[in-house]
């Protein structure tokens, strides 16, 4: 009897343990899922705040763009999960395709501001279209689900299949016809331009009677660091160039600033934030270069900038046309030393460093 | 002789014998080079006889040398150029060159695979598997052989085109590389001889292990000759792009090695070897896919399914290091001439680079897609299917970044609406930090996909599997985190430091490739199988993906060749010999795209003819694959590297 009770007791305990263990495990899994989803959800709540910080330039544009992209990705995953698992709605693959396409179109056409050019939009949407096809055919069941309605529409003789077939075969030529009409319709838009932002510089330039080799020349006001290389000037970023005891480097920066704002008047076009939005900026098309963008002077060597400043718009080589630039050739107005100083100022002010040879 | 044969009875001695025979061949190979160096050394003595010795400075090495040849002629149109009616001579030459290059690289790449496959076959303990690999190598070679004669015909066509349309330029080039050009021709004879003995002696040399080792040695020799041939051809184009060994007037300074060893030649050669191998793998995979689609019996389907996988695998093995080799080449271009680098990457040809980026993204995405669909024939792969869509998402996001151009094409109205040439958000993706991050993520994802493929039908049984998986996960997560972190960090630091960041990024990717795949393979040692790969059950989509992969390779080669060639702008030989023809302008992108597409079309038309010829002679029954066809059959093949 005792032994019988013992066995019953052990079995009961084991059963209880089993239940407990499984319950805990399930709770754990559920907890994990909930935590993950809550994290995604919270991240999405933070999203407007981050967007605001980005547009107000409280955070770096690069990080902002990255957060935007990650946010979009997470929201797509969250939305898909919510529709599928919480609302218990199964959207057929054939319907998912236009939904994803439409969503991507809204993101690239409406949400992404300022609007991107049509050529880029076409590239993006082309990739999305391919991605949708790959997604729909990623494995056999998925492909079957995607292609079966199309196959039925094309092959079967049911009433629904026939109707949809007629609609598709009537709509297709109409769409193509409309596309042709739209293409042939006379338009008064200016044609697209493939503008070379960084034209290739010549190997050397003649500046005030002196030949300057753009590959070997360096800014004489920069000085050299302990390693014998040109000084990048990291330690001077954010320091006051007007201080009485400002080092030589910052004095040169200050003089460059005086030329930028005063003697040469670069400020009128390139703006006081060096963002290409000076008071005359919008008289030009395209507007002047934005030095605070990581894609302009941050990508270039100082000698390249010297070439552009000294020779201006008229000095760009023929093979880099179309090149629309209203920049005057500054060699006719300021000295070479002044040009070097103004270039130093531009880098110091924007916080970028010139590209150097390693 | 008889005693020698007796001595060679032992397998170990046979290998030594094969090695010695190969060494002898290799020494014989070097003999044609003797006249080249003899010319170089004779130069001062020869010129000492002349009454006046003129010295000049090497345009690149800056060393002094005795003037040995006339200056580069100043060409005039139409005196030094030929035409065919109103056709653009440049386009005709471009097409002749491209077709020769396609076939040439294909016939040089295939023997590389054949060598590996034959060796793998010989190292197999299972005789059936050994024969299977041997047959595969033989079949690869058969396709290559037909293409070989087409290569020779196209080579002749190219020479005639040069002589007929660009005689002035060609004579000058020949005057500098005269001795090397003869060696090139001699090597071609050697290549043909070795190739024919190698191919036609295949069955005969299968008879004894010694002869088989000799056969493999012939394969090594064939590849050596092939690589030397390619090296010579590469030196000429590298000379045109970045000359050395001549003075600033183009006068040869007597040292042929300087004219061969130009500043860009080594990265170009490395890049081309890898590119050729990747392209060759792609084309053979396409051939197998073509045969797979046309196959009637399950045995045939199984054989070509396996063949396409093996060829694709070999092509991809060379594709993965290719972007890094390309990066090295561009770095050297920048070091040689900043102007040339900017014309390529940021200036005139930047948009053609976007085309190239499109093709590279296509290659990697197609490859992943092939692996996903190919997993459909592996029992147990259902465990991983749900991850594919996330991998696709990562690949697409990386591709969008990778393809965002720095220089946007837009109407002036769009430019105004955007407020400048740079977009405040997507402008950040147009720079190098973003590009490096994107391509590294794409490659890392591809490696991850391959690891999943490796374990699709396996369950690890090693005791440390949990820890192994953890480490594997850590490697991939760590690599991705490092790549993304460094990509973002790159925006905050000077450009010269930023360039340096690409090295740790690449290292992270390579860690996943080498350590990740090795660890994965170790985890899968003696793994429990969930069922064998059902060769022959690949979806048709997978076969078309392989076709797309090969076409993308071809198009990439066309576009990259065009970029490399047109960066010389109006020079036949950079800064030495000006192009005086009316076609010395840079083509509009649309025209270049059309000619490249036409080249691809012509190549594939000819190639389909070669494939069709392959089906005519093929009456062999794939005896060994019979076992591998159909579902869950024992003792099936596992191709190289898949486990």
| Interchain proximity B405–A120, CB inside 8 Å | yes
What does the alpha-carbon distance between residue B473 and residue B83 come to, in Å, rounded to a whole number?
Answer: 62
Find the CB nearest B409 among A66, A76, A119: A119
Residue A276 falls in which region: left (phi positive, over 0), alpha (psi -120 to 50) or beta? left
Partner-chain contact B428 A357, CB within 8 Å: no
| Cβ distance of A131 and B412 shorter than 8 Å | no
Q: Which residues of A touch B411 (CB under 8 A)?
A: 117-118, 189-193
CB contact under 8 A, B410 and A192: yes
**Contacts with B409 from chain A: Cβ below 8 Å:** 117, 119-120, 192-194
Q: Do A143 and B411 touch (CB under 8 A)?
A: no
Is B386 at the interface with chain A, CB within 8 A? no
Distance CA A345, CA B5 (A): 82
Q: Does B539 touch chain A (CB under 8 A)?
A: yes
The closest alpha carbon to A287, from A276, A298, A295, A271, belongs to A276
- List Cβ neighbours of B462 (8 Å cut-off, separation of 6 or more): B468, B522, B523, B525, B526, B527
Residues in Cβ contact with A112 at an 8 Å cutoff, skipping those fewer than 6 apart: B425, B426
Contact flag B418-A192 (C-beta cutoff 8 Å): no
pLDDT at B470: 95
For residue B259, how many C-alpha atoms fall within 13 Å in the half-sphere facing its CB? Answer: 29
Q: Which of B358, B365, B368, B422 to mutate to test the interface with A (most CBs of A within 10 A)?
A: B422
DSSP assigned state of A205: E
- The Cα-based distances of B531 to A165, B298, B459, B634 in angstroms read 42, 18, 11, 9
Contact B495 A296 (CB under 8 A): no
B interface test, pick of A117, A132, A133, A202 with most B CB neighbours within 10 Å: A117
CB B85 within 8 A of CB B108: no
Query: Cβ contact (<8 Å) for B494 and A355?
Result: yes
> Do residue A201 and residue B342 have CB atoms under 8 angstroms apart?
yes
- Min mean pLDDT across B192-206, B383-397, B623-637 is at B623-637
Alpha carbons within 13 A on the beta-carbon side of B337: 19
Separation between Cα atoms, residue B464 and residue A222, nearest integer Å: 58
| Contact list, B376 vs chain A (CB under 8 Å) | 139-140
Interchain CB distance below 8 Å, B415 and A286: yes
pLDDT in single tens digits along all 358 residues of chain A = 455 556 556 556 665 665 555 555 555 555 566 666 666 666 666 666 766 776 666 666 666 666 776 777 777 777 888 888 888 888 888 999 999 999 899 888 888 878 899 989 999 999 999 999 999 999 888 999 999 999 999 999 899 999 999 999 999 999 999 999 998 998 887 777 766 666 778 878 999 999 998 878 888 888 776 666 677 777 888 888 998 888 899 999 999 999 999 888 999 999 999 988 899 988 887 778 889 887 788 878 889 899 999 998 888 776 556 556 788 999 999 999 999 999 999 999 998 888 775 5
Most A CBs within 10 Å: which of B350, B355, B400, B489, as the mutation test of the A interface? B400
Ranked by mean pLDDT, the top range of A3-12, B23-32, B426-435 is B426-435
Spell out the domain ranges in chain A.
2-184, 204-350
Q: Label residues A234-250 b or e (16+ Cβ within 10 Å = b).
A: eebeeeebeeeebeebb
* Structure tokens given for B384: 């991983």
User: How far is B415 from chain A, CA to nearest CA, in Å?
Assistant: 7
Q: E strands of B36-133, at which residues? A: 55-57, 64-66
**Residue B177 at interface with chain A, using a CB cutoff of 8 Å:** no
Tens of pLDDT, residue by residue over B338-367, are 788 888 887 778 888 888 888 999 999 999
Interface probe, candidates B388, B423, B490, B498, chain A, greatest A C-beta count within 10 A: B423
Q: Strand pairing partners for B66?
A: B55
Whether the CB of B419 is below 8 Å from some CB of chain A: the reply is yes
Please name every residue paired with B528 in a beta bridge, in sequence order, or none if there are none.
Answer: B459
Q: Inter-chain contact B409–A68, Cβ cutoff 8 Å?
A: no
Q: Choosing among A65, A143, A283, which should be mutated to test the B contact, i.e. which has the most B CBs within 10 A? A: A65
Q: Are A117 and B429 inside 8 Å of each other by CB?
A: no
Report the alpha-carbon distance of residue B643 to residue B635 in Å, rounded. 14
> Could you give the ipTM of this predicted complex?
0.79
Per-residue model confidence (pLDDT) at position A1: 46
Q: How far apart are CA B347 and CA B332, in angstroms?
A: 17
Residue B16 confidence (pLDDT) = 74
Asked if the model's pLDDT at residue B476 lies above 60, the reply is yes
B412: contact with A, CB 8 A cutoff: yes
Mean pLDDT in residue range B419-448: 86
Query: Is 1.10.760 the CATH number for A204-350?
Result: yes
């Amino acid at each position: 009897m005792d032994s019988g009770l013992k066995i019953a007791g052990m079995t009961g305990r084991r059963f209880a343990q089993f239940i407990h263990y499984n319950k805990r495990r399930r709770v754990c899994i559920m907890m994990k899922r909930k935590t993950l989803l809550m994290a995604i959800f919270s991240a999405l709540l933070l999203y407007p705040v981050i967007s605001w910080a980005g547009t107000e330039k409280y955070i770096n544009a690069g990080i902002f763009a990255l957060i935007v992209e990650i946010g979009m990705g997470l929201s797509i995953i969250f939305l898909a999960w919510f529709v599928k698992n919480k609302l218990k709605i199964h959207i057929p693959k054939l319907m998912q395709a236009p939904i994803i396409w439409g969503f991507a179109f809204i993101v690239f056409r409406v949400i992404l501001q300022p609007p991107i050019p049509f050529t880029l939009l076409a590239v993006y949407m082309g990739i999305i279209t391919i991605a949708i096809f790959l997604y729909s055919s990623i494995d056999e069941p998925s492909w079957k689900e995607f292609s079966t309605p199309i196959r039925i529409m094309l092959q079967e003789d049911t009433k629904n299949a026939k109707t949809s077939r007629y609609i598709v075969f009537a709509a297709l030529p109409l769409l193509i016809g409309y596309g042709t009409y739209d293409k042939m319709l006379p338009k008064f838009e200016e044609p697209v331009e493939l503008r070379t932002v960084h034209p290739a510089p010549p190997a050397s330039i003649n500046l005030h009677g002196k030949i300057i080799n753009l590959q070997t020349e360096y800014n004489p006001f920069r000085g050299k660091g302990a390693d014998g290389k040109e000084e990048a000037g990291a330690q001077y970023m954010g320091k006051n160039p007007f201080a009485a005891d400002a080092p030589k480097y910052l004095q040169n920066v200050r003089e460059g600033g005086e030329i930028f704002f005063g003697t040469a008047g670069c400020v009128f076009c390139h703006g006081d934030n060096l963002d290409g939005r000076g008071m005359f900026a919008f008289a030009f098309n395209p507007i002047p270069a934005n030095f605070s963008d990581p894609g302009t002077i941050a990508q270039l060597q100082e000698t390249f900038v010297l070439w552009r400043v000294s020779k201006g718009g008229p000095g760009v080589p023929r093979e880099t046309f179309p090149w629309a630039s209203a920049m005057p050739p500054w060699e006719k107005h300021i000295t070479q030393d002044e040009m070097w100083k103004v270039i130093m100022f531009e880098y110091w002010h924007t916080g970028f460093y010139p590209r150097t040879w390693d | 002789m008889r005693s020698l044969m007796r001595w060679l009875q032992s397998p170990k001695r046979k290998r030594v014998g094969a090695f010695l025979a190969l060494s002898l061949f290799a020494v014989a190979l070097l003999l044609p080079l003797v006249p080249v160096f003899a010319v170089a050394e004779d130069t001062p003595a020869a010129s000492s006889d002349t009454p006046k010795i003129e010295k000049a400075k090497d345009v690149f090495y800056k060393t002094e040398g005795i003037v040995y040849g006339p200056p580069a002629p100043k060409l005039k149109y139409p005196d030094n150029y030929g035409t065919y009616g109103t056709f653009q001579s440049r386009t005709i030459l471009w097409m002749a060159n491209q077709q020769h290059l396609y076939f040439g690289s294909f016939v040089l790449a295939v023997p590389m695979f054949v060598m590996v496959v034959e060796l793998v076959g010989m190292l197999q303990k299972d005789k059936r598997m050994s024969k299977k690999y041997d047959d595969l190598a033989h079949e690869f070679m058969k396709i290559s052989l037909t293409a070989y004669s087409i290569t020779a015909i196209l080579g002749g066509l190219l020479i005639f085109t040069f002589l007929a349309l660009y005689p002035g330029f060609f004579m000058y080039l020949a005057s500098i590389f005269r001795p090397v050009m003869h060696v090139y021709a001699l090597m071609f004879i050697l290549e043909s001889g070795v190739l024919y003995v190698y191919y036609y002696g295949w069955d005969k040399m299968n008879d004894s292990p010694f002869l088989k080792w000799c056969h493999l040695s012939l394969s090594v020799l064939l590849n050596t000759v092939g690589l030397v041939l390619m090296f010579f051809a590469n030196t000429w184009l590298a000379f045109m792009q970045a000359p050395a060994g001549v003075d600033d007037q183009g006068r040869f300074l007597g040292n042929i090695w300087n004219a061969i060893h130009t500043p860009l030649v080594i990265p170009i050669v490395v890049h081309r070897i890898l590119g050729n191998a990747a392209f060759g793998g792609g084309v053979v995979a396409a051939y197998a896919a073509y045969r797979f689609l046309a196959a009637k019996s399950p045995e045939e389907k199984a054989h070509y399914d396996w063949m396409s996988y093996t060829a694709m695998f070999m092509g991809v093995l060379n594709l993965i290091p290719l972007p890094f080799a390309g990066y090295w080449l561009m770095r050297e271009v920048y070091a040689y001439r900043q102007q040339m680098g900017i014309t390529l990457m940021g200036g005139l040809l930047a948009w053609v680079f976007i085309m190239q980026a499109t093709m590279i993204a296509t290659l990697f995405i197609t490859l992943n897609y092939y692996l996903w669909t190919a997993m459909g024939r592996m029992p147990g792969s259902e465990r991983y299917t749900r991850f594919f869509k996330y991998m696709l998402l990562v690949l697409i996001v990386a591709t969008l970044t990778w393809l965002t151009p720095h220089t946007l094409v837009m109407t002036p109205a769009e430019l105004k609406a955007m407020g400048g040439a740079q977009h405040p958000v997507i402008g950040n993706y147009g720079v190098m930090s973003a590009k490096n991050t994107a391509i590294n993520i794409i490659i890392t994802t591809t490696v991850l996909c391959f690891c999943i493929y490796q374990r699709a039908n396996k369950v690890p049984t090693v005791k440390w599997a949990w820890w192994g998986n953890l480490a594997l996960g850590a490697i991939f997560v760590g690599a991705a985190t490092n790549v993304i972190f460094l990509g973002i960090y790159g925006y905050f630091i000077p450009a010269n430091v930023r360039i340096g960041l690409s090295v740790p990024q690449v290292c992270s990717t390579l860690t996943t490739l080498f350590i990740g795949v090795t660890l994965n393979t170790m985890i899968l040692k003696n793994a429990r199988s969930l069922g064998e790969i059902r060769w022959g059950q690949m979806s048709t989509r997978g076969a078309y993906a392989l076709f797309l992969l090969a076409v993308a390779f071809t198009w990439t080669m066309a576009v990259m060749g065009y970029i490399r060639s047109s960066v010389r702008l109006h020079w036949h030989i950079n800064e030495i010999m000006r192009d005086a023809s009316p076609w010395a302008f840079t083509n509009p992108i649309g025209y270049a795209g059309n000619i490249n597409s036409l080249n691809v079309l012509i190549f594939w038309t000819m190639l389909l003819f070669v494939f069709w010829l392959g089906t005519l002679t093929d009456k062999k029954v794939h005896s060994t694959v019979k076992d591998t066809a159909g579902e869950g059959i024992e003792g099936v093949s596992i191709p190289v590297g898949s486990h």
